[in-house]
Structure 1
Amino acid sequence: MKLVAVMSLDSNREELHRMYREHSIQVFSEIDIRGYHHTQTPSAVDVGWFGHASHPAYSTLTWAFLPSDQAEHLLDAIAELNHETDPKHPVRAFEMPVDRSI
């Protein structure tokens, strides 16, 4: 089992929900996020995610517990999506192993 977390700009929310339906992900959790930065450091510019302190960037974080093969297929689909979208605002996703759950 894997814990898959996906962070993207809010404008990608419906596309991600469609992708979850297509990959038979029936249950996931989601929260809204406001991203800020106080300086325009090179890393903030490169990532392209964070709004200025007075104008935050709105994004979303979803996560789901998935079987390993389903997690792999979802991450592959997200990588494909990133090839089709704005490279300065990619969808960020990662998986973590779930060794034990209660």
Structure 2
Amino acid sequence: MKLIVITSLYEFTKEIERFLREKKVLAYFEMDVQGFKVFEENETFKENWFVSGPRQRPTNSLGVFAFIENQKASQLMQALKEFDEEHGNILNAFSVNVEESV
């Protein structure tokens, strides 16, 4: 099992929810997230992070979390990559192994 984590600016919530419905992700949870960028200007942790400069005020963002079967997770990540490219790089997505669950 994988945990898929998606972060995006809050303004793209509807597009991401539509994407998840289209890809038949039937169970997920989302939460409001405040994104901070506290590294120095010359550091390149993530070039497309949501806050434009160091030590900026937080950006209102969305966090989406879904537990997905392994074989579907890689397909979903590829679809997320394509979706992100089509929409102008509006999200960050991660696939994390789930070692145990109860």
Corresponding letter in the other structure for 1:19: F
1:62 aligns with 2:60: no
User: Within 1, Cα distance between the matches of 2:9 and 2:21?
Assistant: 19
**Structure 2: runs of 5+ lacking an equivalent:** none
The aligned runs of 1:29-68 (5 Å cut-off) are: 29-37=29-37, 41-42=41-42, 43=44, 46-50=47-51, 55-68=57-70
Q: Is the 8 A contact 1:3 1:96 kept in 2?
A: yes
Change over 3 Å in CA distance of 1:96–1:36 after alignment to 2: closer
1:81 aligns with 2:83: yes
State the shift of 1:86 in Å. Answer: 2.6
- The alignment of Structure 1 onto Structure 2 pairs a total of residues equal to 100
RMSD: 2.3
* Aligned residue in 2 for 1:97: 97
Structure 1's consecutive aligned runs of 4 or more residues displaced over 6 angstroms after TM superposition are none
- Sequence identity, in percent? 25
State the shift of 1:50 in Å. Answer: 1.3
Corresponding letter in the other structure for 2:67: F
Determine which structure has the larger helix proportion and give its number.
Answer: 1
State the shift of 1:6 in Å. Answer: 0.7
Q: Is the 8 A contact 1:36 1:51 kept in 2?
A: no
TM-score when scaled to structure 2?
0.79
Corresponding letter in the other structure for 1:34: Q
